[in-house]
Every structure is written in structure tokens, then in C-alpha cells.
Chains A and B, each alone.
Chain A
Amino acid sequence: MHGRPRKAPKPEDEAASSAKAQKLRALQTQFFTFHHNKIYTKEAVELSAKLLEINPESYTAWNYRKLAVEHYLNLPDCNPDSIKSVLDDELRVVENALRQNFKSYGAWHHRKWVLSKGHSSIDNELRLLDKFQKADSRNFHAWNYRRYVAESMKRSEQDELKYAEDMIYTNFSNYSAWHNRSVLLSALFEKKAGGFLLKEKVLPEEYEFIHQAIFTDPDDQSGWFYHLWLLDQTVTTDSPLLASSWPGHGSDVLLVGDRCYNGSAFSPFSALHSDSGSFPIVLYFNQPVGGVNSSTVTVECGFNKNEDLFWKPLSASNSQTARVWVAHLKVPSSDLHSTVEVSVGHSKGIISTRGFVYSHPSMFSFKVHVQPMERDSSQVSVAENISLREENFKVYGTQSEESIIDSFDQLIIKNGHETTASNWRFEALAKEIECFRELLSLVDCKIGKLTLARLLKAYDAMSYPFANKLVHSEEVLELYSDLMKLDPTHYQFYKDEHSIVLLQKYKDSASSAICDPICLRLNNLSLSRMGAFEKLLWVQMLDLSHNELQSIEGLEAMQLLSCLSLRNNKLRSLTTLEPLRKLKSLRILDISYNQIGDQSIDTTRYVCSSPLSHSVGSELNRDETVTSDVALINNWEAFFIFKDFNLNQLDIVGNTIADEKFKSVLVKIMPKLKQLDGKLLD
């Protein structure tokens, strides 16, 4: 079935297929007549069977048969025998259709539907499946259906596992069989069935098993897919963990009043300006979770009631699960020195998208100092005060950044009990690293290199809290650089991965790029992607200029950002800016010299955020004033992005889209804007 070259049709084949088409057309016309007139006579039903046996792809015919079955089952003289014979007929038609094309979705679906009626024996189904799976062992339709049948029959996972294993032994180049194995093992992990109680016992055996496939034929991809699943099982802890937070444990937060920025005077603290009388608490989990609310997360402080806190997920897809959650704590305008305690997960309710419960309650606390407004300072022009000019980095570069980083690590170690309890994960990864180093010494293999890079990264990430150093980052960077050369087709992917490792390494080495606890300079690193946000929650001013960023996904986690430069990157569309909509503190944005507007059709929209999220569209209808403005309608993407911004200052020059007309639209969308492309606005 696979790996056989397609042959050009011979003239006689073409003649046969046109004859078939003619026959089919006649049948179809007649069929539609029956269907539209709701005729379910024996003759009509038989005609649809004939049609389906020639063309199993005819969805309408399957639906017609479903209607016909319903019709018969609702007849007054219907008895168990007649039901059975009607349904048996359906099974026979499906089987014949599958013989014609065993990859017909409609046919398999119809079979499921018939069986779900509960009148047919399921025992025959396995026999049928054996036949189809023998004919094409990789046919995923059959494997899908098999899972359905096995579940209906209550066939044990162990039996099915044995079947999948036999299929793998026949030919291990079988994605479907490996996939089924991962599904069955997942089910067994969840059940904690006898012998499968512990991942730590099963996974090493699975690694051993998949090595046989990978070493035998490293060019075969199916094994690598399974290995990737195993790696995921090894690295991902079942229950979600809190990876980091802002404010960090034991930190001091200094809040200064509206538009007053007087950081240097309070240099021991992370000063935060707040014009809304509140500051965010950010929780960063190691995997997307849902159920974060005031009952699962308790914030104890003297000036705010826990119940008033509203936790919001920060994700691009507007779903109710996210890795990052934020709540805004209101502060009184008077002098205040108070301790805030945040407890996460002491009462159950936080659940990962995989369905695992957050089971490691953790607590962190920090101090809040509120400084009332100083009116004098507020007179100074914003544009002069806050910008990403070199001197700002120097001005705020008074405090050593070590203390901040330490506080995050403390938090991680507090949460690390699962890591310490599961040495097997380390051992498994170490073994895998050794194994794939050996493979790469034998053969030059792209996917082997990628896997080794992934393993090393995972190992470093897992050991980070203990080693406090990314031991393998050089090796990983080298592997990705190598892959960029070897496999130009996937250059961008490797580049992105390379960027993230590079970022981690930079922060890890605490290089001079970090000038201040609130400012981070990451320019000229040829980054194509941002990452490691969990360690960057504290950043208020971020310089990402002169990189190769095409996307800023994940940036929404950096809730404190007030000043961001994306100058000279490769952002290609307005929708790539969507993460910025969630940054309520952002006042100054530089997106000059990008490629926004180069792409006539904004495909990123469908890549970055879920095409199913309609919330954007629904806002349009509510805002009648906007829909009447032609200029805004024509620039509706700009409208949706920029209308949520609270920008004072924007630089957009050097993008295709940024003509004078567009700029005038921007001014209209953002009435608060004070400065555009360096020019003060009225």
C-alpha cells in the first residue's frame, strides 16, 4: 500500500473510469430523487447501496441510509428480528463499500453509527478489522475503528497492546501501530493497572524497545515519533507545577504613583509605576491549566479582599486554559507597607489540559510598598522620561540582578519535590543522551541530531534548579546550527529553537545584557523567536531590536512591560502583534523597520491564534460608532490590535503598511497617543 509508485493510467483504464462515471451519474440522479422525496422503499434503499458500493465517498448516500434505518426502526410493526436484519444489511453495505475503498471516512463512520444502535454483535468486527489491517497494516481508519471496537467490547488494553506489538514486529514502520501503543499505554498509566503502575518502570522498557527500531533504521520516521512521545512522557510531570511568579517569593515591590517614575531613589526595590492604582500578580505554570480562580488561589493581604480578585488566562487562543494567569491587585493611594501571601492550589480545582490536578500546593509572599503620587515629577514629559535610550539602561543599572534571579530559583526549588522524587527521569534522559550520541557516531542523521538537542535541553531544564547552569547549551546550539545547514527546508524551526536556547543561555550567564532588574537588552542576537518568559516576568523595559523575530508569541506573559522595542525585526503582519493587546502597562512601542504589510494576505492569523475564536468578530458588532467609519473598516485588523493599546508613544516607520493614511487611522484608534514616529501629536 505504501511506497509504491503511482502508475500513469492506461487508455483502457481511462475508458473504464469514464464508463464508471456514466453509470454513477445515472445512479446518483435517481438516488437524489428518492432522497429528496424521502422515499425509503426497498428498491430505493437498494439503489443507494449500489451507489455506495461503487462510490463509498458519497456522504449524502450514507446519510440517506441513516434516515432510512431510522424510518424502518420507527415503523409500528418493528420487532427485534426486523431491526437486526435492517442493521445487518447496513453492515454488509459498509463492508462492500470498504472493499471498494477501505479509507472511506463515510463508510467507517456509518459502521460506527450502526453499531452504536446496540443491536449488532461486535465480535465480528475484530475479525473484519484483522482482514483490513492485514491488507494495509497502517490504515489509520481501521486502527481508529479498532480502538472504538476494543472499547465497546471492553477488550483489555493488554490484549490490544499485544496486537499492536505483533503488528510492529511484522513491520515497525507503522505510525498507526506506534500511535495505538502510546494511546494504550496512556490509558494504562491513567488506570494504574497492574504492572503499569509506574511510568518509571514502563518507560525505560519502551525506550529499549524503540531503540531497536531507531537503530535498525534511523531513516524511518515512525519510530522517532514514538520516541518523541516517550520523551514527552519523561519530561512532562503529570500534575502541573507553578514555574514562576511575579512578584517573586521574598521580593519587595515598590509602587509609585501615576506617571511618576523615580526609580533610582528606590533602587533596592523593583519599582513599578502604576497609573491604574493596581499591580498584577502573574502565575506562570509549566503547562496550560484551567480553574485558576479566587478559590484555588488565595491572596492574603491587608488591603484587598481575596474574593474581589479576578484571575484571567493569558493565551493567544482566548481559551479558558493558559500557562500564564494574571490578577490585578488594587492598592490604596495612601502610604502602605504590607506583606502579601499567595497560596496556589491548596484547595483543588486547578487542572491541566490533560486532566491532571495541580497537586503540589505552594505559597509565596512578597512585600508591597506604596509611595503616594508626587505631582511635581508628573510635569515632566513622558517622552523624555521613558525611552529605550542608552542612558536609561545606565541609570537603572544600579542594582545587581542576582537577588532577583535567586528569588525565582527559590520558588522553583520549593516546587521541585517531584523532580527530586523522580530520579528515574534524569536517569532515563542521561541514558537516552548516551544512546543517541552513539547513534550519531555511527550515522549522520538529522532527526538524531534534533532528538539529541531535545534531550540535552530537557536534561538541562530538569537539572537547572540543582545545577543552576545549562551545562549543554553550547552543544545544543551547535546541533541546531548544524541542522540549519543540513536541512534548509526546516531552517526556521531550527532557528527558533536556537533562539530560545540562546536566550536561556544569555540569562543564565547573567551577562551584561541585563542592566537593571527592570530593563533587559536582548538586541543583535539574531533571535527568531522569544522564549523563557517564565524567567522574564519582572522585565519592564525590553529591547529586542535588531533580531529576526517573526513572532512574539508568549510575550503576553510579561505583564509589567511598559516599554518595548521590536525595531528591525521580521514581523510581517499586524496579527503577530496580538500578544501585545494583553499588555495593559505598555506605553511605549517601537515596531519600526519591520515587514508589516509585506504580506497581502495575513496568514499568520490562522497560524498563531485559533481560527475558531470568534470573540474578535463579535466585538465589531457592538461598537456601532466604529463600523460607520470607512477608514476603520478598511483597516479592521489595525483597529482590533491597536484599540486595546494604551500607548503613549509608537514608532512604526519603515513598514510597508505605515503610510500617512494609515498613521492617521492609528491616531484615530488611539486617542491617548502622544508621539508617533518621533513626532509629538497635538
Chain B
Amino acid sequence: MDDIPPYPPIDPTTFDLIVIGTGLPESIIAAAASTASKSVLHLDPNPFYGSHFSSLPLADLPSFLSSHSTSPSPPRSPSSDDPNEFSLLEFATRPLYSSIDISTFSPNLLDQHSRKFNLDVAGPRVLFCADKSIELLLRTGTNQYMEFKSVDATFVGDNKGNLWSVPDSRAAIFKDKSLGLVEKNKLMRFFKLVQGHLAGEQDVKISEEDLQSPFVDFLNKMGLPPKIKSFILYAIAMADYDQEDTGVCRDLLKTKDGIDQLALYNASIGRFQNASGAFLYPIYGQGELSQAFCRRAAVKGCLYVLRMPVTALLVDKDTGCYKGVRLASGQDIFSQKLILDPTFKVTLPLGSSPPLPLKEKLPFFSLKDDKGKIARGICITKTSLKPDISNFLVVYPPRSLFPEQVTSIRLLQIASNLAVCLPGMFVLYISALCNDDDQGKKLIHAVMNTLLTVPLDSESNAAVQSETAEIGSAVQDETSESSSGGPSDSGEEKPTLLWSALYSQELTLGQVDFICSTPMPDGKLNYNDLIDTTFKIFQEIYPEEEFFPETSLENPEVDGDASPET
């Protein structure tokens, strides 16, 4: 730690906006504000870009996770020369990760090549070819800093280890081997109905009443068999919760939203000629996205300082209004606006009551976390889960692995051709929404147990084994009758686990006030909701400014670059 260079002084000391943390929402806001000719200072206490959205080397991931799992006291502010003008409100960090569980089964292999890995902290995540993130990248020209590859396919998994390809397009329905002829006909007619509805064809309009009803009811009304319903709900519309159990479903999808999801999916397929599937993944990992927006901001004059912790908030003594921040270097920097990443919370000095105006504002400082948690898992293997295909998504719909599974579990396999791991290796990202850490672990382990062989020579392995055995036996009980005939999962060799990281992440929403906080990575597969929130935050702080006006396009020919490299 001694070789950390002394904190450099920052000049100038007054900005329009200070952004702390280089996660994707912060980076987009920094870029948008810079584009609107604001002077922006963008700080990050970490030595890398991306914060909770970053892609990290193998060795750095555990330390990043654990540094955010407890609440270490942030560096104390060096005594200030002039404390009279401002009140100092100390920052505290919030624990955002818990139940971190790192298992290494091949230490020699991985340790030497830690830097060859770019592991997403917020995986699994993809970009839909027609979603808001792509639109934003194209509109801002940020795509010129990135390269993408297509995620080749989507599968639905079952508890026997089978992966069924999702018939998500006309060609895929035609090719599908698991659907019957009648099912193919029904599914294609449903797709046509949706397309007709979206195209505004009068005779195929879906009624307003249907649009407001639950999507699952509409699918039932269309006479779609359970298998197809499951494909549509969880593998295309990407519903999180069991849509057929209103008792556990926290997020019942309306037909209107379901149709919008289908429209997005449909528009994504075939949008770029060299992308076969609906999704894209950035080469070098999802962290590239935050970094690209930072570069975009820097081009527009945003000032970047990494490895620069912030210790306290400077508040006007009289009015209670925000004035600036105190850096770990002791320097005070002033700005009109402040954006904080979700790590920070403000602690009030004991015994002192905050200035009146601040008191009113205070409720906004505490970030709500009523959305529960998300369990994430990262696994590294040497063989693909499916031969002949390397980058793909797998969805385990609710109840597909065990009866108590109430949320979808999503798995993304990314291969070394996306420069996220050593050649010949594969990174699996798994996630599921959950109420608590135990439930989350159970969900992630259920997938791992179904798909992977976990070696027995690790100290942390015992825990995994006992837990998976428990779930495994439950699964076996359920399926023993149906699977008696075929050696479904024992016939093929399952990939062996080399390394895994399991953790739970808090889901915090963004907060909007005179000081604003950005959200944590959510439980979605893409960035649509995060971009919406980011846009709202930007509007809140700069209601007069346009969010990346069209004229900001420097290079009108960027569309050509948008297509991913394959």
C-alpha cells in the first residue's frame, strides 16, 4: 500500500458538477453533463473504471467484493483549516455485497493468469441489439470506443441438465426440434399477432382490456401450451417472478409490457447483419461500457481523477445547502451539483442536529432497499456447457429446478473470444432475485449442481456439496419418475468447475435530491431500466438541458461502426 502515489492536487477547485464513482449511471451522467457544456469532475476511489459495473481481473474481484461487504470507516478527513464556513458531514460506506463465497479448484492455473480475466461484477448482463443502451451508444457516438460480439442463442434449461433452444424467431421455430407442429403453428401465429398489433394493423389489434390484463392471462387466452408460455414469459419477455403464482409474484407482467418486451426482442434479432441473435456482449466485458462513457465525457472536457477517495460533504452552515466535497487529500472541491454512487451514505455528527434545511432533505439520503437482493455467481470452466456454441444465455424459469424456486435464474456463458478469460475457458454468470442470502445461494447452487461437476478438493467445497446435495435430492425426487428411461444428465460429461464466486448484492434504487445517488446494478438482463433512472436523475439536476442532444453527434457515420465485430 506504500506505493500509492500521493494524492494530486486538483485544479480548478470549483465545478458545475462533481460525480463520485464511475459506474455506468455516473459515467453516462458525466458524459451528458459534459456534453451540455457543464464543467464536471469525475472521481473514483478505485484505481479502475466502472465501480459496481466494472469488469475485474480474477484476483481483484474478491477484494473488491469484500471491500464493499463491511463498512470500513472511510479515511478520516485531515483537520480543516477553515471549518467555520461549512459543516462537515462524514461519508460512510454501505455494505452492498454479502455472503461472499470464493472457491478455487485450480489455484496454479488461475493465479498466474489473473490479469487475463475480465470478470463482470454485475453479471449476467447483455445488450439487446435494439435496446436503449444501444440507442444511447449510437446517438452519442460512444460505440466507437467499443467492440461487440453476438450472443449466439438463448436456451431454456430444465432440472435434468437439458438446454432447449428458444424458438424466438420464424427461422428458429422452423428449425426447432422440440416443438410439435401444432405448437409451432400456435407460437408463430402469436408472434404474427404481436407483430400485426405493433404495426398498427387494424384487424389484429389487441384490445385495451387485454393490454391491461396480466400477460400470462392473455397467453392462456391465446391457447398457448405451457411450454410455449414459459418460453415467452421467461426467455423472451424475461419476467423475473413466477407469473402464474400471484402469491409470490412481485412483478406481474401486464400484457402491454409483455408485448413491449417481445417487440424489443423482435427488433433486436437481425438488427445488425453480423449479429445472429438478439443480444450483444462487449469485448473485454461489461465494464467497457462505463469506461466508454467516461471517454466520451473526457472528450467533452470532463476531468477524471481515479484513486481519489472522498471523505466528507461540505454543507453551508446557515442554509444547509450542499457546497462541495472534501477529498482524501484534504482538498475541498466545490460544485453546484453532486452525484454519488450507491456506496456512500452520509453520517450525521453525533449530538449535533443538522441544519434545518438539511434535515428536511435528509430522508432522501437514506437509500431504499425494498427490492430485496440479487444473488450472483461467477463460474469458470474449461468446457462449454453446450458443444459447438460458446456464447449463449440460459434461462431457468420459476419452478424449473425445484418447486420452491419463485424467480427466474439466468445464466450467461461467455467464451474467451470475448477476451474475458484464458483461451479455451468459459465464464458463466448466474443471477437470481431473492429475499435473503440463503435463498439466493440455494438458487445459484441449484444451477451449478445441474450443469457442473464440482471437484472435491477444496476447503470451501464441503459447503457447496452439502447444499447442492440437499437440492439435488429434492430435484431427484421430483424427476425420478419421468427420467427413469433416459440417462439425461449422467450420459454427457458435465464441465468441471475451476473457480467460482458467489455473492449477494443489495438492490438499491437511485435517489433524486439536491444531491443525487445512482442505483446499483439491477436484476435485469439489460440496462434499460438503469438508463431510464439515469435519464431521470439527469433531468432532475439539469431540467433545462437536453440529454445528449442530436447535434452532439460528432461523426454522423458511426452507424456503420455500431455493428458488432464477428
Contacts and interface: CB of A to CB of B under 8 A. Distances in A.
Interface of A: 169-172, 211-213, 215-218, 435, 438-439, 442-443
A213 B184 CA distance: 9
B171 A215 contact: no
Contacts of B181: 211-212, 215, 435, 438-439
A439 to B, nearest CB: 7
Contact of A170 (B171, B182, B185, B188): B171
Contacts, number: 40
A170 B184 CA distance: 17
Given A169-B174, A169-B175, A172-B171, A442 B182 contact: yes
A174 to B, nearest CB: 11
A172 B182 CA distance: 18
A169 B185 CA distance: 17
Interface string B168-184: 00110111000001101
A5 to B, nearest CB: 13
A618 to B, nearest CB: 54
Interface of B: 170-171, 173-175, 181-182, 184-186, 188-189
Contacts of A438: 181-182
Contacts of A213: 174
Chain A interface SS verdict (over half)? helix
A213 B189 CA distance: 13
B186 A216 contact: no
A439 B185 CA distance: 8
Contact of A212 (B174, B182, B186): B174
B188 A217 contact: yes
B171 A169 contact: yes
B185 A442 contact: yes
A564 B80 CA distance: 121
A577 to B, nearest CB: 47
Given A212-B175, A443-B185, 14 more contacts: A171-B171, A211-B181, A212-B181, A215-B185, A216-B174, A216-B188, A217-B170, A217-B188, A218-B185, A435-B181, A438-B182, A439-B181, A439-B185, A443-B189
Contacts of B186: 442
12 contacts: A170-B171, A171-B171, A211-B181, A215-B181, A216-B170, A216-B184, A216-B185, A217-B174, A438-B181, A438-B182, A439-B181, A443-B189
B182 A215 contact: yes
A172 B174 contact: yes
B465 to A, nearest CB: 42
B169 to A, nearest CB: 10
A212 B182 CA distance: 10
A438 B185 CA distance: 11
B22 to A, nearest CB: 41
Contacts of A435: 181
A211 B174 CA distance: 9
Contacts of B174: 169, 172, 212-213, 216-217
A533 to B, nearest CB: 38
A442 B186 CA distance: 8
A292 B482 CA distance: 64
Nearest to A134: B273
Contacts of A439: 181, 185
A170 B273 CA distance: 13
Contacts of A212: 174-175, 181, 184
A604 B181 CA distance: 43
- 7 closest pairs, A vs B, by CB? A215-B181, A215-B185, A216-B174, A216-B173, A216-B184, A215-B184, A216-B188
Contacts of A215: 181-182, 184-185, 188
Contacts of B173: 216
Nearest to B181: A215
A435 B186 CA distance: 15
Most buried by A among B173, B174, B181, B188: B174
Contacts of A443: 185, 189
Contacts of A170: 171
A448 to B, nearest CB: 11
A442 B189 CA distance: 10
Of A171, A217, A435, chain B has the most CB atoms within 10 Å of the CB of A217
A439 B188 CA distance: 13
Contacts of A218: 185
Nearest to A217: B188
A217 B175 CA distance: 12
A560 B175 CA distance: 56
Contacts of B170: 171-172, 216-217
A438 B182 CA distance: 8
Among A171, A172, A211, A215, the most chain B Cβ lie within 10 Å of the Cβ of: A215
Contacts of B184: 212, 215-216
Contacts of B188: 215-217
A178 B182 CA distance: 23
B233 to A, nearest CB: 21
A215 B173 CA distance: 10
Contacts of A442: 182, 185-186
Contacts of A172: 170-171, 174
Contacts of B182: 215, 438, 442
A443 B223 CA distance: 13
Nearest to A172: B174
Most chain B CB within a 10 A radius of its CB, from A171, A216, A218, A439: A216
A128 B441 CA distance: 54
A305 to B, nearest CB: 61
Nearest to A219: B192
Contacts of B175: 169, 212
Nearest to B177: A212
Nearest to B167: A216
A185 B231 CA distance: 36
Contacts of A216: 170, 173-174, 184-185, 188
A181 to B, nearest CB: 14
A172 B173 CA distance: 11
B18 to A, nearest CB: 49
A615 B528 CA distance: 75
B272 to A, nearest CB: 15
B144 to A, nearest CB: 26
A443 B184 CA distance: 12
B232 to A, nearest CB: 16
B210 to A, nearest CB: 21
Contacts of B185: 215-216, 218, 439, 442-443
B201 to A, nearest CB: 14
A369 to B, nearest CB: 60
Contacts of A169: 171, 174-175
A439 B171 CA distance: 19
A302 B186 CA distance: 70
A473 to B, nearest CB: 28
B127 to A, nearest CB: 23
B66 to A, nearest CB: 48
* Most chain B Cβ neighbours within 10 Å, of A172, A212, A213: A212
A218 B175 CA distance: 15
A142 B185 CA distance: 32
A443 B187 CA distance: 13
A508 B175 CA distance: 44
